[in-house]
A and B are shown apart, each in its own frame.
Chain A
Amino acid sequence: MQHGRYPFIVGFLILPLTLYGVFVISPFVQAFHYSLTDWSGVSPDLSYVGLQNFQTLMRDGLFLQALRNNALLLLGLPAITVMLALFFAFLLNVGGAKGKAGVQGIRGNGFYKLAFFLPQVLSVPVIAVIWAVIFDPTSDGLANSALGWVGLGSFGWLADPNLALYSVLWVLIWGSVGFYLVLFNAAMSSIPRDIFEAALIDGAGRFSTFVRVTMPLLWDTIQTSWVYLAILSLDVYALVAVMTAGPGGPDNSTQVISLQIAQNGFQFGRAGYASAMGVVLFFLTLIIATVMLRLTRRERIEY
C-alpha cells in the first residue's frame, strides 16, 4: 500500500495547487500588499504609503455613497428574500387541502419550484438586460403599462435617482427568492412528517405549526441563507454594471463598492487605492458574516 504513495499524492496535487496558488491565493495576498502602496497599475514603480489609502477612503464621498448603497441592499435583500421564500415554502408545504394524512403539500408543487427557480440558472447580464428594458421610464414601458392597468401612474425606475437603487434591489430579490424557496423546501421535507402530525393532533393550526415547529427546525438553513444574501448584497456587481446608467447612476444613486473598485483599478489608474477598497470589502464581509452568525445563534435542535 505504501508503494508509490508519495509520488502519487504529489503528482495529483501539483497542477491544481499551482493553478490555485497563481490565480487565487496570490492575487488575494497581493491585494493586501498593494493596499499599502500608491501603485498606479500602469507603471511598475510604487512606493509604500502606509495606511494613507484607508484615510483617503474615509473622506472619499463617492466611496461613502457606495457604502451607504451597499448598506441599504444589506438591510433589504436578506430580510425580504428570506421572508418571501419562507412564506412561499409555507404555502407549498401546508397550503394544500386537509386529507386523511393531515395538512398536505399543495398540488403543483413541482411546477412552482420549477418556475420560481428559473432566474437562478440564467446569467446576471441576461436578467439585467431584460429588466433594464422592462423598466423603460416612458409610459409604454412594460412595468409602467402593467401598473397603468391598476391605475398607478408611471415611474422613472432606473432613471429616477430616488427609485433606481430600489429597482436594483427588486431585481435582486426577484432573482433570489426561488433559490431560497427550493433550499427551504428541501430542508422542510427532511423533517419527519410525524412531528407535524403530532402538532396537529395537539390542535395547532397551520400557522402556529409553521412558526413554532417548522421555523425552529429550519433555523440553521435560515441562518446560512441570511449570511449568503448578506455577502451577495456586498458583492453585487454585474447587475448594477449592466443595468444602471453610467454605471452607478443616475447621480451615483446606484454606486456600489465593486463598481468603485473596478473604476479606480482599471480606469483611474489607482490600483493601490482600489486594493484598499477590496481590503475594506473583505473585512466588512468577514465582520458581517460573523455578527450575523452570532446574533442569530440559537440552540441547535436535533431530530
Chain B
Amino acid sequence: MAVATQPREPAGVDENGSAGKPARGTRPVSGGASGDSAVNVFSHTVLIGWSILVMIPFLWALVASTKTSREIFGDPWALPASPQWSNFSSAWDKGVGDYLLNSLIVVSGGVLLTMLLGSMTAYVLARYEFRGNRFIYYLFAAGMMFPVFLAIVPLFFVVQNLGMLSTYHGLILVYVAYSLPFTVFFMHSFFRTLPTSVAEAAIMDGASHTGVFFRVMLPMAKPGLLSIAIFNVLGQWNQFVLPAFLSPEKPVLAQGIATLLASQRYEGDWGALFAALTVAMVPVVVVYLVFYRQVQAGLTGGTLK
C-alpha cells in the first residue's frame, strides 16, 4: 500500500485562511512574489470548483429526498416548502426495507466468508512450498483480469442448475468466489511481509498448523485484514451486475434503486426514489468519512502492485 505517507491534515483547513486562499494579496508569509499567490488562488479556485461539481449531486439528492415531485422538477435549487418525511415511509412501502435487509444479509455473510477463505488460501500459498503452488496463485491472479461479462451467461445457468437463483446462500457464494482473486492477491503479499520466527516458535511449542494460522498469523495480519475487509464491504455492498442477473426475485439495495428509477418513470413518486437513494447512500458515506484513509488506501493500494 502506498498511501498513508502524507502528513495528517484536518479536512477543511481552509477556514484558517492560510496560504492566501482569500486572495488578499498582502500576505507576506509565503515570502513569494505575487505570481506565487496567483498560482495559489488559481489552484484553489479550480479545486473548489471540482469539489462542488462532485458534491452538488449528492447534496442535491439528499435535499430532494424531502421534497415533493413537483418541487424536485419545478424548482430544482429550492429547499422544500415543508420537509416531506413521508417520502421515507413511501420508499419503505416500495420495498426499500426488504432490499436493505437483503443487502445486509448477503454482504455480511459474503464478507465474513471471503475474509476467512481468502486469508486461508493466501496464507497457504504464501507460506508453504508444494507442487502446484504457483499454478494456483496464477489461477487466482488471472481471475482479476477476466471481464465478468464473458462469464455472466454460463454463470447464470450454473447457479440455476444448483437451484441457487435468488437465494441468500447462492448470492453469498458467488460474491465470495468473485472476491477471492483480489483478496488472495492482497493477503498473499501481506503474509509474505510477516516475520517467520513467531510461527516457527509456535510450531516448536507443539502448535498445529491450523492453530498457528488462527492464533498467531491472523492476529498479526490485522492491518491487512482491515484494509481488505473495507474493500470487500464496499465492493459487495455496491455490487450490481451479479445480483441483477442472479437474484431477480431477491433484489439487493443497488438493484432495488435501479428498479425504483424504472418504475418512477410512470409512477412519478420522485421524492420516494430520492429517499431510497438517501437510505442507500448515508451508511456508505458514514463508513467512508470514518475510515477514509483506510478506504482510499485499500481501494487504490491494489492498483499499484
Partner of A24, one of B76, B130, B177: B177
Q: Are A12 and B123 in contact (CB under 8 A)?
A: yes
- In the complex, what's the smallest C-beta–C-beta distance from B290 to chain A, in angstroms? 12
- In the complex, what's the smallest C-beta–C-beta distance from B227 to chain A, in angstroms? 13
Q: Are A24 and B143 in contact (CB under 8 A)?
A: yes
* Residue A75 is within 8 A (CB to CB) of chain B in the complex: no
Taken together as a complex, chains A and B put the C-alpha atoms of A225 and B302 apart, in Å, by: 12
* Residue B266 is within 8 A (CB to CB) of chain A in the complex: no
Q: Are A28 and B158 in contact (CB under 8 A)?
A: no
A172-230 with Cβ < 8 A to chain B: 174, 177-179, 182-183, 185-187, 189-190, 206, 221, 224-225, 228
Taken together as a complex, chains A and B put the C-alpha atoms of A289 and B21 apart, in Å, by: 42
Taken together as a complex, chains A and B put the C-alpha atoms of A274 and B149 apart, in Å, by: 10
With A41-B157, A134-B57: A189-B6 Cβ-Cβ less than 8 Å:
yes
B30-78 with Cβ < 8 A to chain A: 30-32, 36-37, 39-40, 42-44, 46-47, 50-51, 53-55, 57-58, 60-61, 64, 72-77
Q: Are B148 and A13 in contact (CB under 8 A)?
A: no
Instruction: Count residues on chain B whose CB falls below 8 Å from chain A CBs.
Output: 118
Q: Are A20 and B180 in contact (CB under 8 A)?
A: yes
* Residue B220 is within 8 A (CB to CB) of chain A in the complex: no
- The secondary structure that dominates the B interface is helix
* Residue B195 is within 8 A (CB to CB) of chain A in the complex: no
Taken together as a complex, chains A and B put the C-alpha atoms of A35 and B81 apart, in Å, by: 57
* Residue A125 is within 8 A (CB to CB) of chain B in the complex: yes
* Residue A297 is within 8 A (CB to CB) of chain B in the complex: no
Taken together as a complex, chains A and B put the C-alpha atoms of A150 and B162 apart, in Å, by: 58
Instruction: Specify which chain B residues have a CB less than 8 angstroms from the CB of A266 in the assembled complex.
Output: 153, 156, 245
A1-58 with Cβ < 8 A to chain B: 1, 4-6, 8-9, 11-13, 15-17, 19-20, 22-28, 30-31, 34, 41
Provide 21 A-B residue pairs closer than 8 Å at the C-beta atoms, listed in order of the A residue. Answer: A4-B208, A6-B130, A15-B117, A19-B117, A28-B151, A41-B153, A92-B43, A106-B43, A107-B21, A108-B9, A108-B11, A110-B6, A130-B61, A134-B57, A140-B74, A141-B73, A141-B76, A178-B54, A182-B300, A261-B152, A281-B147
- A5-B128, A129-B257, A238-B241 are known contacts; what are 12 more A-B pairs with Cβ within 8 Å? A12-B120, A13-B136, A19-B177, A41-B157, A88-B46, A108-B21, A110-B13, A125-B261, A126-B277, A186-B297, A261-B152, A278-B149
